[in-house]
Structure 1
Amino acid sequence: MAIHKLVFDDVEEDLFTLIAIHCTLEDYRLAYLLNKFLGITLIRKPLDLDFQNGELTYSIYEWEDCKQQTIWNLVSNVCKTEDYRQGNSNSLFSLQEKTTKINYLLPEYKTVNYFLKIDNEFNFNKEKYIIDSILKIPQVATAYSIKSDKLKSKDHLIFS
């Protein structure tokens, strides 16, 4: 019996540019400043990015550039959840301890606050222009490009 093997050499991967942004601004403030400095129009999506049936949600902003046929997304990398548990049972008063757990959209980049994902792979000059424009924002500590082949949890960047 003959064995047939299918090889997918010509399958094209999703092409996107991913920029990591380190800053302590709130998401709406960063979106406003990116709109101002990049000349784009990021708008908050009606529903946040949802993981684990609503337990983990990440804020997401989107802009569709019809001229370039490109979708820009600003997404938070950090999700904080609060949990209450019963404290010391030997006490006269019942105490509840509040614990805060921090979850990350891309756990391999725990120091990154936000990601700017652009569904189009730009040439080096255009990508450098975008990063330089982001670095002109005074509240941004740093911004840099991340290569998609270095990502372990690339599936978390599928927003549609």
Structure 2
Amino acid sequence: MALHKLVVDDFYDTSFSLLAIHCELEDYRLAYLLNKHLDLNLSRMDRDLDYKYFAASYSIYEWQDIENETTWNLVSNVCKREEDSLQSSGSLFTNQNKVLKTFYLLPEFKNVDYLLKISDETLRFKEKKVLNKIQSIPQVITSYSIDVEDLKSKDNLIF
């Protein structure tokens, strides 16, 4: 009897580019500036990305360029959430201390503020040109391309 083995990793297609953006702006301001400088039409999606059993949610903006068969996604890499600390004070009265926890969509890039995912089926996307336009925005500190093949947490980018 023959034994057949199915490797699921073969089905994962990385037909997208991923750009890292370092920026201190709020997500809606960055989306506005990207729309203005790159001639996009990013708009906030109805639901945020929720990971780790709703412990972390990341804002996401999307635009589907039907003419060029390209989908643009701007997603926050950082989620800061205030939680109650689990410390026993040993006293009768509870002392509620709050702890600020930080979660990352891509933990291997903790210093990246935003990610720009460009899904391009036709391979007409000019990455260098887009990077130059993003870096020309005065509020953006820097931007660069991320190699998707080397990411350990690339499953977080499936949305």
TM-score category, normalised to shorter length: 0.7 to 0.9
Paired with 1:91 and 1:81, the residues of 2 have a C-alpha distance of 27
Paired with 1:48 and 1:19, the residues of 2 have a C-alpha distance of 20
Structure 2 SS opposite 1:20: strand
Equivalent in the alignment of 1:137 = 137
Deviation string 1:113-148 (CA, Å, 9 cap, x unpaired) is 000000017468x11000000001101110001111
Structure 2 CA distance for partners of 1:4 and 1:61, relative to 1, 3 Å: closer
Q: Aligned ranges for residues 1-160 of structure 1 at < 5 Å?
A: 1-2=1-2, 13-85=13-85, 89=89, 94-120=94-120, 122=123, 126-159=126-159
- Structure 2 length normalisation: TM-score? 0.87
Deviation string 1:40-77 (CA, Å, 9 cap, x unpaired) is 00000000011133221000000000101111000000
Paired with 1:117 and 1:7, the residues of 2 have a C-alpha distance of 26
Alpha-carbon distance, 1:96 to partner: 1.6
Paired with 2:157 and 2:38, the residues of 1 have a C-alpha distance of 22
Letter in 2 for 1:105: L
Paired with 1:7 and 1:28, the residues of 2 have a C-alpha distance of 40
Paired with 1:153 and 1:12, the residues of 2 have a C-alpha distance of 13
Letter in 2 for 1:24: E
Paired with 1:12 and 1:156, the residues of 2 have a C-alpha distance of 13
- Structure 1 length normalisation: TM-score? 0.87
Structure 1 unmatched ranges of 5 or more:
none
Paired with 2:47 and 2:11, the residues of 1 have a C-alpha distance of 31
Indicate conservation of the 8 Å contact 1:86/1:95, yes or no.
Answer: no
Letter in 1 for 2:77: N
Give the % identical residues. Answer: 57
